[in-house]
Structure 1
């Protein structure tokens, strides 16, 4: 009689469940880089003109921050134009990372826009557009970009946003902030099935605000938990506040709550604003989170 053990082992191997594929992990981040202007004075725009030395130092410091962050997608607020983004990505250590950027000029009267950096080896851009919310209020457009997640069949729609601040007329700014937030929430909710929505940016407001609750309640706010623990991305009157945010649609799978990216050299070392973010780099700190895609 032939031994049957080898046959049984072969049969068991053939019918065992397929091994689950490891999850693809993407890191997404939001960073207000605070007045990343160039050295050229543009007529008709209230742009800040940096000296060549200040521009070089700021660009190098921001590249160091973003390099340490090592995110696959980064939403940037307060960039002047495509030129400063090109100089940023040409600075070490970003010059060795396969980053590309998406940027459109907006009608903001200070000349600041939002932009997206992305790693082209991790995500593939499929489409992008600036979304003008109002022709009567000169502020930043919403930037929407759609990506395919490399190595998966998933798509994501990423929104970069920078809501108007309360300066320059609270009533008018408040109405515009409400309008943009409502539009943002509607667009994220209307994404096609299977396309996860991610909102990144500076809302100039905290996670528990009425603006967030009224307009973005359909999304999961990943910056809410660290905000409740007293953490923040911006220092105001010796208090940390969470103005920079990450929201995701309910079908996305975050590995954890959002985190603040901070190194000692990013803070002011002495003087009146000791312990605040170093304004020669940015007055904000980046926030980031890891997302699973299976």
Structure 2
């Protein structure tokens, strides 16, 4: 009788463990990208044109405003999925590691205990890209920072492209992540286009080196590209589109762009632009094991409280600065995508 009871208890215990594991395995892996609009601290960094973002600068950037922005950005990240904090967050327009440490220590997101991937880049304004990751769900195996240089213009300096090779822990599956912030359209879209094409070429070469050793590598490319999904730098140089039969890169943002939905509102024209994008490799798009796409589209996080409505009823992101200090979140909306995985 005792043996029978022991067998029953053991069976129930094993079943409950497996059930809990299966339930846990059904949770998604959440990746977010967010251009946070000039997340600067209040301290001048030597050699960088960041004087505006100091208490004495023309933006009167003080500790109160800085802490307000940190709290608001952390709240946005927390609210994207109310059931869980993002596993990986790509950030654009951050000043340095100090602001990243201050951000991840905010009460809204400190539970994830985010680790930081960042390198002080060459941009003259002092803005960089960064990657945050939850070490319980994602492990970094390697990180590299690719510079975008112009041979005929040694004074050209822009943001580096972050590359992270990592592992989705519960899936025991390897992924490659790139975070981008390509050169702006300052001076005109056409005149500045070669700079973004150059960034696209650097990125494409890096991707090709990965695919040369693993044709079905799982790659995620995200960031603020300062171009739309149908611009030449994206479709021709990088080779990303919304064709599901594409041999290499599928742009999960293109269908949103087709709906005239965007992550950035250009105030001069009143148009929404899809400058923030998430692109995945064919190997990830068609994966049936390990980490997989939950759906083919990325999403834009745009609750009403994250938007500003003008006197005519037109909506745009609630930004920190415009003609003056607005005290909002960012001039971009965050984008995100859920992935699913099989546990191993």
Q: TM-score, normalised by structure 2?
A: 0.75
Q: Secondary structure at the match of 1:133?
A: coil
> Partner of 1:56 in structure 2?
67
Equivalent residues in 2 for 1:219-258, closer than 5 Å: 219-236=249-266, 237-252=269-284, 253-256=292-295, 257-258=297-298
> Partner of 1:110 in structure 2?
125
Contact kept in structure 2, 1:24 and 1:152, CA below 8 Å: no
> Partner of 1:41 in structure 2?
44
> Partner of 1:285 in structure 2?
333
Contact kept in structure 1, 2:33 and 2:222, CA below 8 Å: yes
- Gaps of at least 5 residues in structure 2 are 1-21, 54-60, 240-247, 285-291, 321-328
Q: Give the C-alpha shift of residue 130 in structure 1.
A: 1.0
Pair 1:142 & 2:181 matched: no
Pair 1:26 & 2:29 matched: yes
Q: Distance in 2 between matches of 1:211 and 1:175?
A: 8
Contact kept in structure 2, 1:154 and 1:195, CA below 8 Å: no
Q: When the two structures are aligned, how many residues end up with a matched partner?
A: 275
> Partner of 1:165 in structure 2?
184
> Partner of 2:15 in structure 1?
none
Q: TM-score, normalised by structure 1?
A: 0.87
Q: Give the C-alpha shift of residue 174 in structure 1.
A: 2.4
> Partner of 2:108 in structure 1?
93
Q: Distance in 2 between matches of 1:261 and 1:25?
A: 17
Contact kept in structure 1, 2:41 and 2:95, CA below 8 Å: yes
Contact kept in structure 2, 1:269 and 1:275, CA below 8 Å: yes
Taking a change above 3 Å as real, the CA distance of residues 274 and 243 of structure 1, as seen in their structure-2 partners, is: same
**C-alpha distance after superposition, 1:215-256 (max 9, x if no partner):** 222311000011111111001122211000100111113212
Q: Give the C-alpha shift of residue 97 in structure 1.
A: 1.9
CA RMSD of aligned residues (A): 2.1
> Partner of 2:200 in structure 1?
181
